[in-house]
A and B are shown apart, each in its own frame.
Chain A
Amino acid sequence: MGIISRGFGGRRRESLPGLPPGQYLTHDFPVLSAGPTPRIPLDKWKFTIATETGEKHTWDWKEFTALPAEEFTVDIHCVTKWSKLGTTWKGVALDTLFEDVESAADYTMAHSYGGYTTNVPLDDLLDGKAWLVYEFDGEPLHPEHGGPVRLLVPHLYFWKSAKWVNGLQMINDDEPGFWEAGGYHMYGDPWREQRYQGD
Chain B
Amino acid sequence: MKNRISWRVATVSSARWETASARTLVLDVPDWPGHLPGQHIDVRLTAEDGYSAQRSYSIASAWPGSLEITVQRLADGEVSPYLTDEVQPGDQIELRGPVGGWFVWRSSSPAPVLLIAGGSGVVPLMSMIRARGDARGRQPFRLIYSVRTPEDAAYADELRRRVRDDPGLDVHFVYTRKAPEGAGTPKRIDVAAINSHGWPPDFQPDCYVCGPTGFVETAADILVALGHDPKRIRTERFGGA
Contact = CB atoms under 8 A, between A and B. Distances in A.
Bound together: yes
Interface of A: 1-12, 22, 24-38, 80-82, 114-115, 144, 178-179, 181-183, 195-199
Given A2-B46, A3-B46, A198-B3, A34 B102 contact: yes
Given A2-B7, A10-B78, A31 B213 contact: yes
29 contacts: A2-B44, A2-B46, A5-B47, A5-B93, A8-B45, A8-B86, A9-B47, A10-B45, A10-B52, A27-B241, A30-B237, A30-B239, A34-B103, A34-B234, A34-B235, A35-B220, A35-B231, A37-B217, A37-B220, A82-B241, A114-B230, A115-B231, A182-B102, A183-B101, A197-B2, A197-B3, A198-B2, A198-B3, A198-B4
Given A22-B54, A28-B241, A196-B99, 13 more contacts: A1-B50, A2-B44, A4-B47, A5-B45, A8-B82, A10-B53, A24-B78, A30-B213, A34-B103, A178-B102, A196-B4, A198-B5, A199-B5
Given A10-B47, A10-B78, A35-B234, A5 B241 contact: no
Nearest to B98: A183
A199 B233 contact: no
B241 A3 contact: no
A30 B102 contact: no
A183 B4 CA distance: 10
A37 B94 contact: no
B48 interface: yes
A27 to B, nearest CB: 8
Contacts, number: 128
Contact of B53 (A7, A24, A32, A199): A24
Contacts of A114: 230
Chain B CB within 10 A, most for which of A30, A32, A36, A181: A36
Contacts of A195: 42
Contacts of A8: 45-47, 82, 86
Contacts of B7: 2
A31 B55 contact: no
Contact of A30 (B2, B50, B94, B240): B240
Interface in B30-72: 42, 44-48, 50-56
Contacts of A5: 45-47, 82, 87, 91-94
Given A36-B221, A182-B101, A183-B99, A29 B240 contact: yes
Contacts of B220: 35-37
Contacts of A197: 1-5
Q: Which 8 A-B pairs have the closest CB atoms?
A: A198-B4, A30-B240, A182-B101, A36-B220, A26-B241, A11-B78, A5-B45, A2-B46
Interface string B72-101: 000000100010001100011110000111
Interface in B213-241: 213, 217, 220-221, 223-224, 230-231, 233-235, 237-241
A115 B232 CA distance: 12
B179 interface: no
A3 B102 CA distance: 31
B20 to A, nearest CB: 21
B9 interface: yes
Chain B CB within 10 A, most for which of A2, A29, A144, A178: A2
Contact of B92 (A3, A37, A115): A3
A7 B94 contact: no
Contacts of A26: 240-241
A1 to B, nearest CB: 5
Interface string B16-28: 0000000000000
Chain A CB within 10 A, most for which of B44, B78, B240: B240
A144 B217 contact: yes
A8 B239 CA distance: 23
A81 B44 CA distance: 12
Contacts of A34: 102-103, 234-235
B54 A33 contact: no
B224 A36 contact: yes
A6 B101 CA distance: 32
